[in-house]
Structure 1
């Protein structure tokens, strides 16, 4: 892929109203109290992984960078806020000039994470940082959930192809973000053209059952598709009788037929029968693609089947039962003023139960065992131990309000493959379990 992998950002609208009202009312109150300019550090993290998951996948960082860059209030937005009496005049004047001018550090996209991992660290004045809370969390919670599901499916597929095809099962904008996150998690193609256009993800697609039903006979439908798309196309063979359809497909396209798709029935049994039939007809290179409400468990159950690729929709774009990562965005340190010389002091929520957090500006590193396999996620607020200095996870993403770390989507995808491979082997087990490595605070 080329430099367009960085994403087509032309015409991206402002993201400033992708937020909750209380972000703006906090700014108003802080401006009036004289505390809005206090230097602050916010961190995005999750207190736990979704139930049964052994690792999380960082996705959405590139979209967060776009959102921060495009977070500004235009005249129409300011008019809306004034007419709805959301904030007062001085706050509207402040918002009119808003541009994030701080720094952001974070786990690079595609990296894995664990409970407590400081996935994103946002530094600047209280007011400019708190405004970004909702949009950052909405992106990270959605994309990381999809990427985690995709990663589990990728591990279950064992190197076989994975096609993202969930656009019709979610909101049209979520579909684009889902395709992007799925690609990071290990999928190789998408059916969604908007995702292909925006992120240069390879797109695929041929025909549905409606195309076969349109024609007088299945043979007519296959002939029309092959005449239009060539012998290398994929023919859908389960509209009527699968055995007859496979025979007809090879008669029409010849042994150069690219693939057949099976979308119903006992996929394990049908795939074996279709493979045998294709081989007997001389179409030994014709591939088999299966679809039909697949998830990671169904994919794993087909490991012994002669399947070349899986198409996944509903379960992928809904996080395979875990549609959010429960990430939070918390103030962890702040100074008493805007003075850079004034020291920061840790702050933290001390709620009863599981909602407390750890204060302080954090670093994170992954400790490896003697075999180079991850054994702990180490998080601290002081000096980084010398033995972990070259294992630090956070990278600088935004400096002085300027994005400095955009990268091709393939880089994030490759990073995830490497990060997952560096975990203990039990990380890819589909059985429910605890995080595959512990989080240690130092």
Structure 2
């Protein structure tokens, strides 16, 4: 779903850490590089105050692995900086990931210990992907998780993602995509619209009003250009006068007004009364300005029709990373595990299923060894991993963005009521480990 169809994607090979390649060089030198290994991505705990996480970035990982190629420029840089020796450079020149990858599809809920991604291949094949995989999954999952909380708080009212000016330019595109998966209606980011087909929206900022000699002239110019269905920003000067002028200029069929400052709950109530008194009963009210899930939830009873969210969504609303790690769990079929204090891992490749009540409410996440024995899968149980790559190639019919949006909605509906609370607490459902 790239912008330039048919044009090779830029190499992702150097979007990695130095130590990935020094490990590779050492493994090539001592003969362990070809040992069959399994790496898993999981999180030991959810961010403080969170009761669930939502997977984001899986499709971007698939694309990024496909573009993980060391071309002439990348090899020249590694040679000039003496990162690795000539033997390793020669190996990298021919690198193509040829292993298998399974994982939770985008939009799936996850909990502590969930095997979110499983990478199988040689040590050399898989170890070099660690940083690339984690940088995508940690970022996108943090954004989807925060945005899902906001969508839930909005209770069906649309949210516009408008955080591009508050983050790195590349992160802005990924954030818009992640927020859309979580249920946001549109984005202001045109690159994300071009790359992923996400609906874009936007009208005017305060600068457009200040450009004109008076507010009436600014509104008239915007309506002339965009029609009466546009959204007029009414709080540059006096909001009451701004609403009055907006209806005078556009008429009672004005599409919407936007309030971007002040106590937006109180102002929205006053605006609704004023609009109705002026006959603009169908004019919608959009609010923005430092909103997060808590602010959105507090506005649920107010006459707000849509929200614009920026800084909080692109920063994960206080949890900018999902805390995921990429750990070696199996070598040549033998489980291996890290025992460091507070950084423990469980050995062996694992699978997972989610148990549900007959009503559809989730009960628990069951994580079990792939080598068996497998738990009995009941009528209301659902296996969670799907194939993503086979022999280094993407599998057919991977989930679409719309599939992922639907999966988020279905996942949140399945959570116990307590698990949807914005207050801190235990994970919405427990993770149960079955031993081999």
Question: TM-score under structure 2 normalisation?
Answer: 0.97
1:418 lines up with 2:415 in the alignment: no
1:428 aligned residue = 420
Pick one of 224, 227, 231 that aligns with 2:224.
227
What's the counterpart of residue 14 of structure 2? 17
1:363 is matched with 351
Q: Secondary structure at the match of 1:160?
A: coil
In 2, are the aligned partners of 1:8 and 1:198 still within 8 Å (CA)? Answer: no
Residues 1:348 and 1:388: Cα distance change in structure 2 (over 3 Å): farther
Q: Does 1:72 align with 2:69?
A: yes
**Quick one: distance in 2 between partners of 1:370 and 1:6?**
44
1:58-137 to structure 2, matched below 5 A, reads 58-137=55-134
Q: CA RMSD in A?
A: 1.4
Deviations 1:212-251 (A, max 9, x none): 0110110000000000000100000000111111111111
- 3-state DSSP of counterpart to 2:377: helix
| In 2, Cα distance between equivalents of 1:388 and 1:12 | 43
2: CA distance, partners of 1:207 / 1:387: 54
Give the aligned partner of residue 346 of structure 1.
Answer: 335
Q: Distance in 2 between matches of 1:360 and 1:285?
A: 59
* Secondary structure, counterpart of 1:387 in structure 2: coil
The C-alpha deviation readout for 1:83-104, integer Å capped at 9, x for no partner, is: 1110011100000000000100
Q: Does 1:44 align with 2:47?
A: no
Matches within 5 A, 1:37-436: 37-335=34-332, 344-352=333-341, 354-381=342-369, 382-388=372-378, 391-404=382-395, 405-436=397-428
What is the alpha-carbon distance in structure 1 between the residues aligned to residue 363 and residue 79 of structure 2? 53
CA, structure 1 residues 108+130, in 2 after alignment: closer, same or farther (shift >3 Å)? same
Name which of structure 1's ranges 399-408 and 430-439 shifts more when overlaid on structure 2: 399-408
CA-CA distance at 1:387 after TM superposition: 2.4
C-alpha deviation, 1:407, in angstroms: 3.1
Distance 1:168 1:357, change over 3 A: same
| Cα gap change, 1:377 to 1:421, in 2 (>3 Å) | same
CA distance in structure 1 between the aligned counterparts of 2:145 and 2:286, rounded to whole angstroms: 23
Matched with 1:339 is: none
CA deviation string 1:271-312 (max 9, x = no partner): 011111111111111100000100001001101110000000
Aligned residue-pair number: 430
Aligned equivalents of 2:76 and 2:9: distance in 1?
21
Kept after mapping to 2: 8 A contact 1:6/1:408: no
1:60-94 Cα deviation digits (max 9, x unpaired): 00110110000010011101101111001110000
Extract unaligned runs of 5+ from structure 2: none
* SS of equivalent residue, structure 1 residue 331: strand
- Consecutive unaligned residues in structure 1, runs of 5 or more: 336-343
Q: Tell whether the 8 Å contact from 2:41 to 2:325 is kept in structure 1 after alignment.
A: yes
Does the 8 Å CA contact 1:6/1:409 hold for their aligned counterparts?
A: no
Any conservation in 2 of the 1:5–1:409 contact (CA below 8 Å)? no
Conserved? CA contact 1:180–1:195, under 8 Å: yes
Deviation readout 1:164-221 (Å, 9 max, x if unpaired): 0000000000000000111111111000101111111100000000000110110000
Shift of 1:419: 1.0
Tell me, what secondary structure is at the counterpart of 2:290?
Answer: coil
- Structure 2 counterpart SS, 1:235: strand
1:232 to 1:291, Cα distance in 2 relative to 1, 3 A: same
CA contact (8 A) 2:361 2:416 kept: yes
Separation (CA, whole Å) in 1 of partners of 2:72 and 2:4: 27
Q: Assess if the C-alpha contact under 8 Å between 1:5 and 1:200 holds in 2.
A: no
Distance 1:6 1:391 in 2: 35
Query: Partners in 2 of 1:8 and 1:141 — Cα distance?
Result: 27
User: Structure 1 length as normaliser, TM-score?
Assistant: 0.95
CA drift of 1:386 comes to: 2.4
1:338 equivalent in structure 2: none
